[in-house]
Every structure is written in C-alpha cells, then in structure tokens.
Amino acid sequence: MLRTLGALASQIVAPVVAVAQSIAGLGRGRRAWSSEGRAYVEVRGVDQPGAEEAGEQIARRLEKVPGVAWVEINAVVGRVVIGHDPGLVGVAELVGVVEDAEADTGLDEEPFAAVGVSHPDNPVKVIAEATVLGANLTGAVIAVGARMLPLPVLPPSVPALVSTGESASWVRGPLETRIGKTATDLLFGFSSALGNTLARRPASLLAESGYRFCLLRETQAARRSWARWEAGTGAHPASHRSAPVGVRPRPVPLPAGPVERAANGSALGGPAAFAGMLGVTRSFQRAQAMVVAGAPRAAQVGRGAFAAQLGYGLSERTTLVFDARVLRRLDRVDTVVIDADVLRTGARYGICARGR
C-alpha cells in the first residue's frame, strides 16, 4: 500500500514543483510589470555599490525609446522605474532594451537584488497565496469525498513530517538558498495540501485554509497600501530615485526563535521517537502518533497568523511593509535602540504620574 501511495505522490509532486517554480518566477527570471503608466523592470547588479555609472547608462538608453517620458533607477530594490505611454511602448520592449543595456555595461551576469522579490506591487505573492489557499480548499472537498471510495490512505505522519520540515531551519534554509523563499513557501504549501488530502484530513485542510486566507489578506493589504502611495507620490519621478546602499553581512547568523528551536528538536526527535515506539510496541499506528504529536505546526501557524494580522493592520494604516518576514522575527528581539533625535520634536508636554 505504501509503495502505491509513494508512486502516486511522486507523480503528483513533480508537476506541483513545476507549478511552484513557474508561479515564483524560477529560475529566477526577470520580473517586470506596469501600473498607472509606470513600468517596473528588475535590473541586474544595480543594487551593488560601484554600479552607479552602469545604472546611468541603462537609464540613458531607456530615455531614447519613443514613448518614454522619464526614467529613474531605484537601486535599493534593484529595478528601474519608467514613465511611459503604454500605447507607444510596452513592457516587453522595455525589458528588451534593459537586457541589451545590461550586456553592454557588463551587468548581464550579475544577480538580481534579493529585496525585489518582496516588493508590495509584485503580483507573485498574491498569486502564490491564492493558489495554495485554493489547493487546500480543493483538497478538503476531495478528502471528504474520498472517504466513500476504496482508496488507500496516506499515514498522517507524512503531512506531519512536511510540517516539521517547513519549520526546521536546517531543512528550509538550504531550500530557500537554492530556489528562493516564494518557491519554498509554495513547495511546502502544496506538499502539505497534497499530504493532508491523501491522508483524508479535511479538518487540517480547512484549518490550513483559514491560515492561508490570513496570509492572502496581508498580501492584498500591502498591495493596497502601495497603490495609495503610488497615487499620492508615485507620479513624481524623484520619489523613485535611490542610490545603492552597501549592506554588511551579519556578524553572526540570525538566532533561532522559539518556533525554530521547537521545530529543529522535532525534526531530530520525531523520527527517533517513531523508531523507539515502533521497536517497543510493534505498532505502526502508535509509532506514527509520536511524529504527529511532535509536529510544530500549531506554533508556526500561531506566529504566522499574528504576524499576518499585524502586517494587515499596518498596511491598512498607510504603512508600507516591504518585507513581511521581519514581522515573523519579532519573537527574537531582545533589545530596542531608539534614536533620541527622533523623539526631540521641540514640543514640551507635562506628564502627571501617580503611584499606587
């Protein structure tokens, strides 16, 4: 039975990975889109200090294209913003000009800026979250209907292992380095939906759908916040201009938070507990219960849902959240440094405090 399930899973996982790569823009393709007469095109290498002259050459090349009104290099996010007439020149033609200019300036072998993936106006994040939400809702329907069919059932320990791997830094970290964060999120999201569907766990699929809805709402709110900023100041070319900023690497690796510590322990202890229980009881059901019980999904979803609600609230209050990952790291903050000049507004306030 397990061999049959494994063959079925392998047949489904392969196209799932392909879909994840396509949606996330792997093999890390250039992202480009247009909004309100402004085109946003990723440019290789302009985010690196010392590439200012190359960026200026690319801008001058674009300014010569008919239909282009102005060009600004936003080096911090690694893209060029182009004011253009969509009726005269399209995004595809502008991308072609950028590619030729990159080759002429020697930037064609440089990587894209990593921060560009998290831009609020990038539609990839919305598409990704909506796709995973749809996969979980569809899986819940299939899981309920499959109970009436004589089909093999995947052990619940399989989706539990997927959940543990998603939270474990030593599993997730190399994947993010290799294929990127968005594709990694999609891969684990689809794998979890697939595993819970084959394990016939509609309750888990519905709970995951609720969590994915929170993430989708957070992403949509960030896009709305960006649209408000664009409507107010985006039409001014200078508002997009920025020079490269040198970013020094962290002196030490980012410390693991409580969720990561629990996940890393579960990733190591779960299989050991499974083997120990199986050796003692000879019961596969009891052994896999140890894996299911140790999965840190509740902790991960709890932190993620809190951060999603915080991101949603910030975006609805006109704050631009460029990288939602930082909201998932608040549980690691142990020191807050406030610049005194920020607090010195010149106004004086009287404060009356009474002890009790």
How large is the average pLDDT for residues 316-322? 87
Residue 76 or residue 232, greater confidence? 76
Query: β-strands 79-84, 68-74: how paired?
Result: antiparallel
Q: What is the pLDDT of residues 337-347, one digit of tens each?
A: 887 777 766 65
Q: Buried b / exposed e across 20-59, counting CB within 10 Å, b at 16+?
A: bbebbbbebebbbeeeeebbbbbbbbbbbeebeebbeebb
Separation between Cα atoms, residue 82 and residue 93, nearest integer Å: 12
Judged by average pLDDT, the poorest of 99-113, 315-329, 341-355 is 341-355
What is the amino acid identity at position 161? L
Separation between Cα atoms, residue 129 and residue 182, nearest integer Å: 10
Correct CATH for 32-111 of 3.40.640.10, 3.90.190.20, 2.40.10.10, 3.30.70.100: 3.30.70.100
Contact assessment for residue 84 and residue 38, using Cβ atoms and an 8 Å cutoff: yes
3-state class of 234 per DSSP? helix
Q: 132 vs 23, 28, 75, CA distance in Å?
A: 11, 20, 32
Q: 206 vs 134, 164, 203, 239, CA distance in Å?
A: 11, 19, 5, 43
Q: Buried b / exposed e across 307-344, counting CB within 10 Å, b at 16+?
A: bbebbbebbeeeeebeebeebbeeeeeeeeeeeeeeee
Backbone φ and ψ for 78, nearest 5 degrees, come out as: 70, 45
What is the amino acid identity at position 24? A
What is the amino acid identity at position 222? A
Enumerate the domain spans of the chain: 2-25+121-236+257-301, 32-111
Q: What is the pLDDT of residues 69-121, one digit of tens each?
A: 999 999 888 889 999 999 999 999 999 999 999 999 999 888 888 776 677 87
Helix (H) or strand (E) holding 80, with range, is: strand 79-84
Separation between Cα atoms, residue 292 and residue 155, nearest integer Å: 10
pLDDT at residue 18 in the model: 46
| Residue closest to 223 by CA, chosen among 14, 35, 38 | 35
Helix (H) or strand (E) holding 84, with range, is: strand 79-84
pTM for the structure as a whole? 0.75
Q: Is 141's pLDDT higher than 60?
A: yes
* Residue that is written with structure tokens 């998603």 in the block: 166
pLDDT at residue 15 in the model: 44
Average pLDDT score, the chain: 81
Backbone φ and ψ for 302, nearest 5 degrees, come out as: -60, -45
Q: What is the pLDDT of residues 241-288, one digit of tens each?
A: 888 888 788 888 888 888 888 877 777 777 777 778 778 887 777 777
Backbone φ and ψ for 352, nearest 5 degrees, come out as: -110, 120
| Chain centre distance of CA 109 | 25
Separation between Cα atoms, residue 138 and residue 206, nearest integer Å: 10
Q: CA-based angle 319:320:323, to the nearest 5?
A: 130
| Residue closest to 117 by CA, chosen among 154, 61, 79 | 79
